[in-house]
Amino acid sequence: MKNEIITNAVLKIDPQFINEVLPFAIETKNHILLEEGCESFILMRKKDEPNTLVIFAVYTSKQTYNWHLEQDYVKSFFAFLNGKLTNAPEVTYLEEI
């Protein structure tokens, strides 16, 4: 079994803020893709719910995932989301079979 961390996060954005959130989400994604421990980071939105962002990410290890969470651009993005979500983020941890 691999030690990688696989996450699927769902962020339901208040419709009045989606046009502010999207550029910041894309900018944050571009930083994350440069992280040494990030194998994959895909930022998507639901076709039938365009205010719902879905993030699928794979990190090489728990250590690289924890390092990722401590980066200023990640912390800034989540701070920016404060008051702009309709629900708390739903994060699911997955494992490859």
**10 pLDDT tier (thresholds 50, 70, 90):** very high
Cβ–Cβ under 8 Å, residues 74 and 43: no
What is the separation of C-alpha 78 from the centre of its chain, rounded to a whole number of angstroms?
Answer: 9
Rounded distance between C-alpha atoms, residue 66 and residue 85, angstroms: 23
Domains of the chain, start order: 5-94 (3.30.70.100)
Is residue 11 predicted with pLDDT exceeding 60?
yes
Give the per-residue pLDDT at 48: 97
**2 pLDDT tier (thresholds 50, 70, 90):** confident
| Per-residue pLDDT tens over the stretch 21-72 | 999 999 999 999 999 999 999 999 999 999 999 999 999 999 999 999 999 9
Encoding tokens for residue 3? 């030690």
Amino acid at 39: E
Give the per-residue pLDDT at 1: 54
Encoding tokens for residue 21? 């959130």
CA triple 17-77-63, angle to 5 deg = 150
